[in-house]
Amino acid sequence: MKYKVIVYYDHMEDDVEVYDNKNKAIKRLHHLRGVKYRNSRLYKVEMVEVE
């Protein structure tokens, strides 16, 4: 199972990072949501499972 961390800017895909480890993907997701894009309204970060 692979995991994608996707960053959306204004509802368009901006950046995609692929991880093999779920814990690393979750850690990166929390870092992006909590530190980098905390007060930014145009950015949205989500994680998706990919086979």
Strands 2-9 and 12-19, by their bridges, are antiparallel
* Residue 20: domain span: 2-50
pLDDT, tens digit, 9 for 90 and up, residues 33-44: 999 999 999 999
State the pTM of this model.
0.89
pLDDT, tens digit, 9 for 90 and up, residues 1-51: 999 999 999 999 999 999 999 999 999 999 999 999 999 999 999 999 998
pLDDT at 8: 97
Q: How many domains does the chain have?
A: 1
Radius of gyration of the chain (CA): 11
